[in-house]
Structure formats: structure tokens, C-alpha cells
Amino acid sequence: MKKLLAIVGAIGLTGTAATTVVSCGTTDTFDIIFIPSNNATEVINTVKPLEGKLQAEMKARAEERGEKFTKKVKISTSTSYEAAGSTLAAGKADLAFLPVGTYNKNKGTLKEDGTYDKLGILLESSRDAYKVEAGMPDGSITQSDSLKYAKNYNALLNISEEENITKEQIREKYLDTKEKSTYYRSYVYVNNKLLENSKIDMSKISGDDEYQDALRKLILPDASGNEAKGNVNFSVSKSKTSSAGTIYPLMWLKNVAGFNDEQVKYIYTKSNKQVDYPSAAQYVSNTSNGFAVGFSDIRYEIKDEADSIKAFKNTSVIGMSDKIINDGIMYSRKRVNDDKVIKDLRDSFKDLISKEENKEIFNVYNHADYIGPKEEQTSIEWEAALDKEITITSVEAEKIETLIKDL
């Protein structure tokens, strides 16, 4: 960010010092973009109070230094993940809440200091940990892992049709709020009717071959071997760069279910396209051959209590993806380039998310806290280290992006 204007106060008799006005870019607004992983209208209604809260935080921090933050914070939701990423990279917004897949696609060219020239990482989010994921491997998930932890999760959330339970009681079953996680996974959901009609009992599958056969029978029932034909039972996000909605589920199809590239492309093309996670959870709950994918337990994202509980009862998890580095708050290097203001932004978001009154705002993406540079790190060192980790873990993801690029 640049110091654009110095207003000199009274000189001589008053002896008042100059005050610096801190501003970003050349507009009067500080623009923040949220992605439509949930219903766009609900997202904007939930996060709208952040405008005034962040503006007050930034103003107060600037004034502590004898400066002024004069921008009006403005929040909007993008039409898609891709639109949010490209808008930020073009310098038409200051910040955006992005998954690492979209960030990675738009970050630009590697610089000598290990960061990238178009986008920077303001903060990485952390989430409440999932009890069932304790002990899961750090590397690529195997068929045995996917089966084992899917079965464990279904056993943990084995809710009978007659059981009287609330959403929060279900949430307490799977969340460990005392532990925080810097990653998440994409879970693959299927309607229980499809399992029954396919004569598949997940709890009784014991080996890799049996598991793979069951997955292929569920997802591409009319094909055998390397064929790519017939009906498809699967869902992906309408966004090609959604980590949990598209990229990692397709990696799971290839690495766990054992589909070849042509079959993965065929499944992607024929799949149901999810608009957002709550509607995807509704779809798999209400559709007898329904599938859904999404970040950890999307069934909780259904607003209506009865519908959410119904979704937990109507569906099962049949697989889990590799780890996905948590999404975060990314910034445009074209508009945000003042180190003092970057620090103010980091401190402001950390302060805001720590207050109980703001939990609903950040729960829109299940963010529990934010992680930035450690005391012994510079901003560049921290960003470069995280960028390196994102780049390494994105190798397989980029293969999937290339695979479906022209579809």
C-alpha cells in the first residue's frame, strides 16, 4: 500500500505534526471478495457486518501510528471461484477469501524471494479438527485409508431413523473443538438408497479390490474395465478450480477408485454440477442415486435443521481425499503493498475472529482462527514457505486441472 497523501496541519504557532493518510490503489473503497461456496445471498448477508468492523479496526490501528485509513471497506460475492481469483490478480480488488487451488491458478510468476508477483497470502485459516481424522497419514491417501476412515466416520455418525437428535449434537460427535487443523479433506457422499439398490454394504467391505469394485459399480455402473460409457453417478462443483468440489474428488476417482484418465474426463463431463455445498448436500439426501462432494461434512451446512438431520440419516461417506491445505485470505500485490497495512490487516482479522460476537461471520467458511507469520519470521519468509508447500502439494492437482481444462 502506498502513502498517497500527507496533510500538513497547522504550522508555526500550533507546531502540529503531519498526518499520513494510508490508502490502497486509486479507489475510495477497500474491496473484499467472498466466494460462493454457500448460497451467495446468504454469504453476503452473513458477512456484511465485517465491512464496518474491519474498517473500524484498520482506522484505529492507523491512528495509533499517527496515520489515517480512509478507505470504505466494501464486501461482495463473486459469481465463481475463478472470477474471484482473476479479479484479485488483475488488481480490481484488495482481498479475497480463496481456496488454495484458485490461489495457485492465479498467483502469477515466481519471484526471487520465493513469493509470486500477482497474489500474496495474508492469512491461512485454521479449522476445528475432525475426530475421525486423528492418525490419518500425511501423504497420498490409499484405498485402504479411504475405506477405513470412511467406515469409521459412518460408524461415528450412525444415527437411526427414530433417533431424536439436533444438528449441534451431531456436530459434537465429529468435531474436536479443542484441536485446530491447517488442512481439510474432500468427503464423498452417496445416498443410502443407491448403496441398497447396488447391494453394497460399506461396513462389510474388507479389501482394496472389493472396495474398488464397489466404487466403480456405484459411479460408472454400465462400464467394465477401461470403458468410459453409460450412466454416471457422481457430482462435482461447477468451479473447475474448487479444491474440495472438483480437483481432489477427481484425484480420488483416479487414485482410489482406479479410473483412468478417459474415464475421469467422462465422469467429470457427465457429473451433476454442484452450485454450492448446502444444495449439494440437499441433492444427495433427496436423490436416490445422488452423490455429493465437499469440504468435510457439508451436510451440516444445510440451514434447515430438519433437512440437515435428514441428510445425515439418508447418506453415507464412501471415501476421503488427500489433505488439502486450508484456504485463506489472499491479497492483490497491485493494490496492497504497504508492509504496515498488511500487518494491520493480519492483526485486525485475528482480533475479529477471536471475538465470540463475530463467530457467525467466519463460520461461513468454517474458519476457527487465522495463522500468519511467527514472531521470528518476516512476512516474505512466511509467505514463501507456505507458497512452497502449496506448490509441492499442487503437483497432482495441476495434472487434474490440465486433464479437464478444455472440457
The residue with cell 464496518 is 52
| pTM > 0.75 | yes
Task: Please state, in angstroms and rounded to a whole number, the distance separating the CA atoms of residues 245 and 294.
Answer: 5
C-alpha separations of 273 from 222, 262, 332 in Å: 21, 19, 30
The residue with cell 514472531 is 375
pLDDT (average), residues 338-347: 97
pLDDT at 225 (0 to 100): 94
Given a cut of 90, whether residue 24 has pLDDT beyond it is: no
| Pair 25, 335: CB distance under 8 Å | yes
pLDDT at 126 (0 to 100): 96
| Total residues found in the chain within this entry | 407
For 324, phi then psi, to 5°, come to -120, 125
For residue 29, what are the β-bridge partners? 72
Confidence band for 26, pLDDT divided at 50, 70 and 90: low
Tens-place pLDDT, residues 60-103: 999 999 999 999 999 999 999 999 999 999 999 999 999 999 99
Task: Please state, in angstroms and rounded to a whole number, the distance separating the CA atoms of residues 234 and 396.
Answer: 21
Task: Please state, in angstroms and rounded to a whole number, the distance separating the CA atoms of residues 151 and 214.
Answer: 14
pLDDT at 17 (0 to 100): 34
Q: DSSP states of 225-280 as a string?
A: TT---S----EEES-TT-IIIIIHHHHHHHHTS---HHHHHHHHHHSEEESSHHHH
Tens-place pLDDT, residues 102-138: 999 999 999 999 999 999 999 999 999 999 999 898 8
Mean pLDDT (the chain, rounded): 92
Q: Which domains does the chain have, with CATH numbers?
A: 2-125+327-393 (3.40.190.10), 139-322 (3.40.190.10)
pLDDT at 18 (0 to 100): 35
pLDDT at 4 (0 to 100): 35
The residue with cell 471497506 is 73
Tens-place pLDDT, residues 241-251: 899 999 999 99
User: Other C-beta atoms within 10 Å of 34: how many?
Assistant: 23
pLDDT at 22 (0 to 100): 40
Tens-place pLDDT, residues 131-178: 999 989 888 899 999 999 999 999 999 999 889 999 999 999 999 999
pLDDT at 6 (0 to 100): 34
pLDDT at 406 (0 to 100): 95
Comparing CA positions, the residue from 201, 270, 276 lying closest to residue 237 is 276
| Element spanning 347, H or E | helix 339-353
| Pair 108, 117: CB distance under 8 Å | yes
For residue 176, what are the β-bridge partners? 129
The residue with cell 480463496 is 98
For residue 188, what are the β-bridge partners? 293, 319
pLDDT at 11 (0 to 100): 28
For residue 332, what are the β-bridge partners? 119
Confidence band for 7, pLDDT divided at 50, 70 and 90: very low
Residue 299: CA atoms inside 13 Å, Cβ hemisphere, count? 29
pLDDT at 296 (0 to 100): 87
| Element spanning 123, H or E | strand 119-130
Tens-place pLDDT, residues 40-56: 898 999 999 999 999 99
Work out the percent of the chain whose per-residue pLDDT is above 90. Answer: 87
pLDDT at 15 (0 to 100): 33
Tens-place pLDDT, residues 198-227: 999 999 999 999 999 999 999 999 999 999
Given a cut of 70, whether residue 10 has pLDDT beyond it is: no
